[in-house]
Structure 1
């Protein structure tokens, strides 16, 4: 057969064979006097030596409270300095950090805590319109009369310890700040002894996937998974201890805690949090004031920054690199990021939570044509193959499902062997569900999701191709294309379009723009002008919600 669609990331740089806690301590000594964490809205400016001291104080307190290696500790909070302390302190203490989505409500929180059996929960009082404490007391009213550290409740039976952020006190809960006092005699030595016993293949983090059907699954990641991924992501960006990375993406997701925090740790760069949640103006202000050299974001975030009315008032010349990931990047948006935001070395990362997350990444010197049309080359120490519906490897240039294998593949879904076996086959390949093409030079293009591919009258249509074309219309700010049921053709195309401010065009204008430029069967039958798209807190578009909305609006079955 022609050259097969199989690539592997050969590398002279070995994988890191240490658990995160030991690596963290070494890195903090190596970069002791360098800036580590900058959180302007909390007045936090810590060097790596100061970060290490805070982390070890928290780790010693968690052990003193009776938490045992391997137990799960949930964190339900927006971005802040406490989040990063919890990330590294739990790793130092041999605990498993469980990331709770800040958008979760009562039922989702109850499910997550019980699914993995959290023994402790670190919680913010609230975020945006969510009152977290109120939701917790509603689920566990017994805590109001409980003893801190020895809680019990009918609906959250595994949780015995709740640690709240902020200066106020809450019944049954301990205060986070109280756990940052100096360790007692012998506790530091005991912490170091414990760190010698932790293995790099031990679980260190559980992240719940935002799946479109059924209950979320807890992707269980090891020290080896995420520490190495953070390192090699930073290598591709050429991060150094002179860099300052602005991190407006959520820490509860791999983008923030791995591609952000761990990438910085492994190279001595500074982590900079501009705000508790994404705020384009805060990003602009922080990049200028802190002279950030790198910036992370999903495409919708970059669009929000570029289109902010005060964009031209800020000096972003310090920017050099960063990552755009989370969903496919429109070509025009990438060009504006490079030209208008000075991010000439910005990289694209492709991956998923279950692969820690990165599998492909462009380099800082990837040619522009490749950077705007592909997700780069396979990561070091990672294998990828593209297969057809029967599992056979397809030739280069053909479309199929992307499978990946290597150090980055998760340990499995917590407490769900059946779902794990569905995702990871007997040969160790993670089935991503993404449609992709690998060209003769090894560059990968993500075409779409297997489930998002539209089959119209026997023609396979990839929404990404149509989205890229519609982005060229000067009035279009953002666009998403989906398939909806059709009695005659099986499926028809529907485009949701967000217009630029002060722009007014019609459905016929869009269709006229398409005619003669793309095949007739790729011209959307349905066009919906919208103000926003349904999306997860990490900026991923939820196309299944768009499909459901259109089926209801149009009275379609199937």
Structure 2
């Protein structure tokens, strides 16, 4: 009998530094290497230049009263300033609260209050989003600094002249709060330490065989671990360069940046790679510099991985969750094509994983399906100011239960076969239906609402709302979109609507969402998308 339990190797050793110390080490080792390139902004900073910018913002934060342990929010699409603020807060030991740029007023207000944010740093606007107006509406009394303003210029130049205090920070200090949608209807703030995210960035970079010669194209958002950890910190710990192709994902801009900056690595969720492969002028981009990259964030279609492997021969799949900083398993360049395209790899160093029977909690045998659980250095410190939710997520042995159903083969490779929780992953964004259901309940004409995920060829999953209306009420898809617009992030707005008189229920009164999904697939003719094979 071989149990579905595996522990990663003890090598390489985890860096025992804080993020600030890691930046100092990078400057010492690779002062003239490009650290950060923002193509659309025309910004190019070496490690020495990046460090100088970081120190200026750190002094500016001190002048505004920010100190160790204070929470500083950042709300912006990808840009050079985002990375500078990430490192400046780390220098001081302030806790960076990363806010999804798609958040609207309700969500922003909740996060600012729950985290106790004392200063918000944000973009002034992006596309149709007026961040200044929304910030004033959501938190009118919260001090804010917006990029592109005189206040930002003062912050950036260290106005006030304060010196950065020589305070000995600990690698186990909290340094980042990332909000994940919660089954309670409200986001939960996963609190991560220097050790959590610096260690994970380093190990991800090791799995990709990064060196100071690598240039990583990062079109995935920085507010996610994918961007700020697997991108920024993987680069930092290896002297590599981060290339920002655009503020938000654009397939043509991404491939143009790969070509012009001679990127060796490209990141993306599956929908991003699908969009890039679908470009009519794909052959016109010189992608010969690409060697590796990471596809992660949602289930990776096997055929897409095979297509990507043709121009990124060492592309890897990574699996994890925000609460584990994030990566727990990853494929490697020397894995077989089958393993690299149809599994999420093997356990990372310094991590332990097990697959358990959800009923008994016992570890299942390899080849059997159960819930994937993970433990190790990457496990979050907890949900911010929420010990009850923390204890529900992490068991007495220090394992977090992912809610994903998985299988481990005899060689330790993991395949994700489903999700036990009803979380929906749309284009790499985790969405919990309960949050949307509770919002829909506030509509005066809606008596009851249930939200499910249905398969989608582009985004992996889309949201479908089943709604029971009050007598005499009328409600259509356009009404749904208008009600949600400006109050929910775009990816949380259901694409499909089904008006119903009743939900399929068990004899004990529990809604059977799997039956709702079956009916929706049939009615919406989504059988083709449902058959796409993922790793």
| TM-score category (smaller protein) | 0.7 to 0.9
Distance 1:420 1:430 in 2: 9
Query: Secondary structure in 1 aligned to 2:121?
Result: strand
Alignment-derived partner of residue 117 in structure 1: 116
1:241-256 equivalence runs, <5 A: 241-256=212-227
Q: Name which of 362, 373, 381 aligns with 2:342.
A: 373
| Structure 1 contact 327–540 (Cα < 8 Å) conserved | no
Distance 1:494 1:415 in 2: 30
| Structure 1 contact 280–301 (Cα < 8 Å) conserved | yes
Query: Secondary structure in 2 aligned to 1:75?
Result: strand
Alignment-derived partner of residue 476 in structure 1: none
Alignment-derived partner of residue 23 in structure 1: 22
Alignment-derived partner of residue 269 in structure 2: 298
Offset at 1:290?
A: 0.7
- The runs of at least 4 consecutive aligned structure 1 residues that moved more than 6 Å come to 183-186, 539-542
| Structure 1 contact 41–275 (Cα < 8 Å) conserved | yes
Query: Secondary structure in 1 aligned to 2:120?
Result: strand
After TM superposition, the score normalised by the length of structure 2 is 0.80
| Structure 2 contact 63–160 (Cα < 8 Å) conserved | no
Alignment-derived partner of residue 31 in structure 2: 32
| Structure 1 contact 74–121 (Cα < 8 Å) conserved | yes
Offset at 1:540?
A: 12
Alignment-derived partner of residue 74 in structure 1: 73
Q: Choose between structure 1 and 2 for higher RCO, CA contacts under 8 A separated by at least 6 residues.
A: 2
1:314 aligns with 2:285: yes
1:353 aligns with 2:322: yes
Offset at 1:211?
A: 3.2
Offset at 1:13?
A: 1.8
Distance 2:98 2:125 in 1: 16
| Structure 2 contact 405–417 (Cα < 8 Å) conserved | yes
1:240 aligns with 2:240: no
| Structure 2 contact 145–152 (Cα < 8 Å) conserved | yes
Distance 1:238 1:140, change over 3 A: closer
Offset at 1:545?
A: 5.0
Distance 1:451 1:425 in 2: 17
Offset at 1:499?
A: 8.5
Offset at 1:409?
A: 0.3
1:438-453 equivalence runs, <5 A: 438-451=408-421
Query: Secondary structure in 1 aligned to 2:378?
Result: coil
Offset at 1:11?
A: 2.5
Alignment-derived partner of residue 182 in structure 2: 211
Offset at 1:99?
A: 0.4
Distance 2:294 2:139 in 1: 40
Offset at 1:31?
A: 1.1
Query: Secondary structure in 2 aligned to 1:41?
Result: coil
1:181 aligns with 2:157: yes
Distance 1:445 1:106 in 2: 38
1:133 aligns with 2:104: no
Distance 1:51 1:381 in 2: 31
Offset at 1:17?
A: 1.3
Distance 1:185 1:118 in 2: 24
Distance 1:266 1:230 in 2: 7
Structure 1 residues 376-421: Cα deviation after superposition (integer angstroms, max 9, x where no partner)? 1100000000000211000011000011111000000001111000
Alignment-derived partner of residue 513 in structure 1: none
Where does structure 2 lack aligned partners over 5 or more consecutive residues?
426-432, 434-451, 460-483, 505-510, 512-535
Distance 1:494 1:83, change over 3 A: closer
Alignment-derived partner of residue 10 in structure 1: 9
Distance 1:304 1:279 in 2: 9
Distance 1:183 1:556, change over 3 A: closer
| Structure 2 contact 59–162 (Cα < 8 Å) conserved | no
1:52 aligns with 2:51: yes
Q: Name which of 424, 428, 434 aligns with 2:404.
A: 434
Residues matched between the structures, number: 451
Distance 1:238 1:21 in 2: 23
Distance 1:140 1:34 in 2: 40
1:402 aligns with 2:372: yes
Distance 1:221 1:261 in 2: 15
| Structure 2 contact 60–158 (Cα < 8 Å) conserved | no
Offset at 1:541?
A: 8.4
Alignment-derived partner of residue 388 in structure 1: 357
Alignment-derived partner of residue 524 in structure 2: none
Distance 1:254 1:317 in 2: 27
| Bigger Cα Rg | 1
After TM superposition, the score normalised by the length of structure 1 is 0.77
| Structure 2 contact 22–236 (Cα < 8 Å) conserved | no
1:269-308 equivalence runs, <5 A: 269-308=240-279
Distance 1:119 1:497, change over 3 A: closer
Query: Secondary structure in 1 aligned to 2:40?
Result: helix
Distance 2:15 2:362 in 1: 33
Offset at 1:20?
A: 1.1
| Structure 2 contact 18–169 (Cα < 8 Å) conserved | yes
Offset at 1:498?
A: 4.3
Distance 1:494 1:56, change over 3 A: closer
Distance 2:500 2:201 in 1: 44
Q: Which moved more, 1:205-214 or 1:368-377?
A: 205-214
| Structure 1 contact 60–93 (Cα < 8 Å) conserved | no
RMSD: 2.5
Offset at 1:106?
A: 0.8
Query: Secondary structure in 1 aligned to 2:407?
Result: strand
Distance 1:95 1:494 in 2: 37
Distance 1:51 1:392, change over 3 A: same
Distance 1:553 1:50 in 2: 60
Alignment-derived partner of residue 148 in structure 2: 166
Where does structure 1 lack aligned partners over 5 or more consecutive residues?
142-152, 154-158, 170-174, 454-462, 465-481, 483-492, 501-533
Distance 2:415 2:4 in 1: 12
Offset at 1:59?
A: 0.8
Offset at 1:16?
A: 1.4
Distance 1:381 1:86 in 2: 29
